């Protein structure tokens, strides 16, 4: 495929074709996933859990992220590389700009920040300086200690109203993409309609503009042996990892994934 850019993702949203995103942490999987047609490789701070065995994403550092971005860049065949800014790497403006520079120089094309309305300021600063951003709303794992666990977000009307308002404010601030994690399908559908930028979901229903899963989860490699409700094991019925990756892309494009059993109600 020709190189995926922000323009590609915007065109996919406009045409109604779903975007396939997958987490990726090394050159071999970057090669396999981009060859399978995954448009966005997310170097997620989930690597702290699935690669390093931590019980949350909080111990992950910018050095860890830069190391894995550089590996993904070496294997990538034209996908857009999105990287997580890890916990507290964007707590101040100076830290945010400095750490984004390191990650973009390592090979990322876009950075992802977890939060809510307060992200408007860093997103605006980054857009002005030529760094596209993805704002991660809903269940934000870096805030697990405030949220009291990995729980569905936006079920109460006040929370839902706030999330809709935040999504619009962050688009206006210059966000290039939104990611919604573990929110009711109806709320994710409303937000996807309300903004012009692509909205990617994980546990957010089928009406978002694209889907993302953690690579190890969709290959049936969850460390705990238990997967969240929104995960489908794409190795089932396949005889190779390449076939499982292609099945994921096909399922996202044909909107056969996520099915009702992978979604949350309001
Ligand atoms: O770090 C990550 O893998 C993520 C996904 C759960 C979306 O942010």
What confidence tens digit (pLDDT) does each residue in 64-82 have?
Answer: 999 999 999 999 999 999 9
User: Which of 141, 150, 177, 208 is the pocket-test mutation for ligand 1 (most atoms within 8 Å of CB)?
Assistant: 141
Query: Is the beta carbon of 189 within 6 A of some atom in ligand 1?
Result: no
Residue 210's SS3 state is strand
Residue 91 is predicted with a pLDDT of 96
Residue 93 is predicted with a pLDDT of 96
Q: Quick one: 146 exposed, middle or buried, by C-beta within 10 A (0-12, 13-18, 19+)?
A: exposed
Query: Is the beta carbon of 202 within 6 A of some atom in ligand 1?
Result: yes
Start-to-end CA distance of the chain, whole Å, equals 38
Residue 223 is predicted with a pLDDT of 81
Bridge partners for 178 per DSSP: 135, 199
For residue range 194-249, what is the model confidence (pLDDT) as tens digits?
A: 999 999 999 999 999 999 999 999 999 988 878 899 999 999 999 999 999 999 99
Share of the chain above pLDDT 70, in %: 100
Q: Are the C-beta atoms of 133 and 104 separated by less than 8 Å?
A: no
Query: Is the beta carbon of 84 within 6 A of some atom in ligand 1?
Result: yes
Query: Is the beta carbon of 114 within 6 A of some atom in ligand 1?
Result: no
Residue 254 to residue 9: CA distance in whole angstroms: 17
- In the predicted model, what is the mean pLDDT of residues 31-39? 98
- In the predicted model, what is the mean pLDDT of residues 93-105? 98
1 pLDDT band (50/70/90 cuts)? low
For residue range 245-261, what is the model confidence (pLDDT) as tens digits?
A: 999 999 999 999 999 99
Share of the chain above pLDDT 90, in %: 97
Q: Are the C-beta atoms of 34 and 41 separated by less than 8 Å?
A: yes
What mean pLDDT, rounded, does the chain reach? 97
Helix residue ranges per DSSP H, 25-82 = 27-35, 47-50, 62-75
Quick one: which of 9, 14, 257, 36 has its CA closest to 134? 9
CA distances from 210 to 37, 143, 169, 216 (A): 13, 24, 21, 19
Q: Which two tokens stand for residue 187?
A: 């709320």
190 is catalytic: no
Q: Are the C-beta atoms of 142 and 58 separated by less than 8 Å?
A: yes
Residue 71 to residue 74: CA distance in whole angstroms: 5
For residue range 100-114, what is the model confidence (pLDDT) as tens digits?
A: 999 999 999 999 999
Task: Tell me which residue has tokens 């979901």.
Answer: 201
Query: Is the beta carbon of 209 within 6 A of some atom in ligand 1?
Result: no
Residue 52 is predicted with a pLDDT of 96
Ligand 1 centre distance from Cα of residue 245 (Å): 17
Query: Is the beta carbon of 64 within 6 A of some atom in ligand 1?
Result: no
Residue 226 is predicted with a pLDDT of 82
Taking CA atoms only, the protein residue closest to ligand 1 atom 2 is: 44
Q: How far, rounded to the nearest angstrom, does the alpha carbon of residue 93 sit from its chain's CA centroid?
A: 22
Taking CA atoms only, the protein residue closest to ligand 1 atom 4 is: 44
The catalytic residue among 128, 181, 190, 261 is: 181
Atom of ligand 1 nearest to the CA of 181: 7
Residue 141 is classified by DSSP as G
């Amino acid at each position: 495929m020709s190189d995926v850019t922000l323009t590609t993702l915007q065109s996919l949203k406009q045409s109604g074709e779903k975007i396939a995103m997958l987490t990726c942490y090394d050159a071999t999987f970057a090669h396999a996933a981009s060859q399978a047609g995954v448009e966005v490789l997310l170097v997620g701070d989930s690597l702290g859990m699935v690669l390093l065995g931590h019980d949350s994403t909080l111990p992950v550092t910018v050095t860890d992220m830069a190391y894995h971005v550089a590996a993904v860049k070496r294997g990538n065949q034209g996908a857009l590389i999105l990287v997580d800014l890890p916990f507290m790497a964007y707590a101040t403006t100076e830290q945010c700009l400095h750490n984004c520079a390191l990650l973009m120089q390592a090979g990322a094309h876009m950075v992802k920040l977890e939060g809510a309305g307060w992200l408007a300021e860093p997103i605006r600063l980054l857009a002005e300086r030529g760094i596209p951003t993805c704002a991660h709303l809903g269940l934000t794992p870096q805030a697990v200690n405030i949220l009291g666990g990995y729980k569905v977000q936006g079920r109460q009307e006040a929370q839902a109203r706030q999330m809709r308002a935040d999504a619009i404010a962050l688009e206006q601030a210059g966000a290039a993409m939104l990611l919604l994690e573990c929110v009711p399908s109806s709320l994710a559908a409303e937000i996807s309609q309300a903004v012009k930028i692509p909205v990617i979901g994980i546990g957010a229903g089928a009406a978002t503009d694209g889907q993302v899963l953690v690579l190890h989860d969709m290959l049936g490699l969850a460390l705990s042996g238990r997967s969240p409700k929104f995960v489908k094991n794409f190795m089932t019925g396949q005889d190779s990892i390449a076939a499982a990756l292609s099945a994921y892309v096909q399922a996202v494009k044909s909107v056969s994934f996520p099915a009702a059993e992978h979604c949350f109600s309001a």
